[in-house]
Structure 1
């Protein structure tokens, strides 16, 4: 018996979705200076002077605030860079990377 070969190709449906986003959250502490927080918000998160100062006050008054929302790799990279800069300056600044609320 011969095997029949089909000339039809099976179509596969691949569903693509937007990658998840993650927020980088700064947490307030009693030791990291506000000037340092403003500086890293400008250098690492590309905030303007006014945006950085406003966000720093929000962190100070509310205990935490989101600096930005990014893909996972970029959020981790920005959090690690900021933490490294803080440690080099002797600050215990804490950041977390958390899934964005949808």
Structure 2
């Protein structure tokens, strides 16, 4: 449970505070990410857990294919195809940084 949800007057001081709170409290929730989610949702939540800091595409690829793939739901996506999925996103707002 995130502390901001318990505050009656939910004033948000900064986006970074909210990101930090999500990273701290959602990381302990075993259902925050699960293998049944779409790839973009797994990537989005992974980035939230990391405080929305830049992450290498290869790290995201490893996280998705090694941590969240299961025998019931194998996630077999190449690095290039993952890049294509993120580049074609119109919902989550993924952005490539140099």
TM-score by length of 1: 0.29
TM-score by length of 2: 0.30
Structure number with the bigger relative contact order (C-alpha 8 A, sep ≥ 6) is 1
Of Structure 1 and Structure 2, the greater strand share is in 1
